[in-house]
Structure 1
Amino acid sequence: MQARNSATGYGWVAIALHWLMAPAVIGTFILGWWMRQLSYYDPWYRQAPEIHKGVGIILLALLLFRLLWRLFNSTPVSSTGTPPWQRRIAGATHGIFYTLLFAIMISGYLISTADGRPIDVFGLFSIPASLQDLPDQEDFAGSIHEILAWSLIGLLVLHILASLKHHFIDRDATLRRMLGIRAKNSEKDHSHVETTLSTPQ
């Protein structure tokens, strides 16, 4: 499989980015929800947030790379008969995905650096605090962070349901494309990367 996308399918770079980021985003959300239930004396009380923040910084780097890859790489073309409204909704959906992810990571950064301390990323490097001492910075950014995170998870659930519908009901190649599986020649492909709630790439 080639690295770059083609007119009919994704390359291994886009596929790898998708399957690296998707479980990491979901896992980070679960970790963030779980660590809020911990008491001060729980052994994970300090360790869990450090993992949450470190993974968040790595996800931000992957997101930026993903956007650059999308900018300088082609997108598989739509199959014949794809309604224009589906392409427009898909474009908007992709934009919402990227905007939510970016906003979640920025708000998380503001929470973590509100006291002026840098973010340590697994002992490999640290991200310094560049904006701090804003009025109620930690609390305000925390509220925004939580609202955006739940919104993202809701959109991801819809995306998963839509992908399953494409695969099992519509029987098109939407899911197979992101798995790197070429559609059978005998099957009419009604899918397109730019369909409603399709995977953002």
Structure 2
Amino acid sequence: MWKNTHRGWGLVSILLHWVSALAIIGLFALGWWMTGLGYYDSWYNLGPWWHRSVGMLLLFAIVLRMAWRLVQPTPVARGQRLERLSAHLGHIGLYVLMFVVLVSGYLISTAGGQGIEVFDAFEVPALVSDLPDQATLAGQVHWYSALMLLLLSAVHALAALKHHRVDRNDVVVRMVDPNHSRRP
């Protein structure tokens, strides 16, 4: 139930997938909302604190997700050859964009040399800081890569719905039911 099989995803992969998806959508919404906050708004400091904290936890979860994926089997892809290739390239794109968004967010927050406090529980140190225009350049990369990530995530969701509704295969069921692959 915990591990992947060639027939379906295990509970660890499923949980990491859905937690990542919810965090990405939530972080995008919070980030967009934060851009309109005024200096005297009560969320002016609290919004970024939440955004950075959840973002760092998501970065750790994505690293864990990648490590888990490297040591676990991947379920057999469904669909025609072009669909399987598109899915493979789409997944690579999602992982690359997740890393770009999260690392650029880290670079924004650490540009002045300060670390990132994660829910006041621990600090992630600033490993890279004081690069020329670091916060500005990282901010642009962060914004545009986040937009691309959200767009590619929407395509990913639509493709999953197409597999479920049109093709009537078990691609979506495999990502919500860890016991699906263990049934006869």
TM-score band by shorter chain is over 0.9
Q: Displacement of 1:153 after TM fit?
A: 0.4
Among the aligned pairs, what percent are the same residue?
Answer: 44
1:140-198 CA distances to partner (integer Å, 9 max, x unpaired)?
11011000000000011111111111112221111111011638x9xxxxxxxxxxxxx
Q: What is the total number of aligned residue pairs between the two structures? A: 181
Listed as ranges, the matches of 1:139-158 within 5 Å are 139-158=136-155
Q: 1:1-201 alignment to 2 at 5 Å?
A: 2-78=1-77, 82-180=79-177, 182=180
1:60 shift after superposition: 0.5
TM-score by length of 2: 0.93
Taking a change above 3 Å as real, the CA distance of residues 78 and 95 of structure 1, as seen in their structure-2 partners, is closer
Q: CA-atom RMSD, angstroms?
A: 1.5
In structure 1, distance between residues paired with 2:135 and 2:176: 40
Instruction: Quote how far apart the aligned CAs of 1:10 are.
Output: 1.0
Q: Which runs of 5+ in 2 are unaligned?
A: none
Gaps of 5+ in 1: 186-201
| Structure 1 counterpart of 2:6, one-letter code | A
Q: Would you tell me which structure has more helix in proportion to its own residues?
A: 2
CA displacement at 1:34 relative to structure 2: 0.3
Q: CA separation in 2, counterparts of 1:20 and 1:64?
A: 13
Show CA shifts across 1:30-89 (max 9, x none).
00000110000000000000100000100010000100111000011245xx43333222
- Distance between the aligned counterparts of 1:160 and 1:25, measured in 2? 13
The residue identity in structure 2 corresponding to 1:182 is: H
| Residue 198 (structure 1) aligns with | none
Q: Does the 8 Å CA contact 2:90/2:156 hold for their aligned counterparts?
A: no
User: What is the match of residue 191 of structure 1?
Assistant: none
User: Matched residues in 2 for 1:93 and 1:77: separation?
Assistant: 16
- Return the offset for 1:115: 1.1
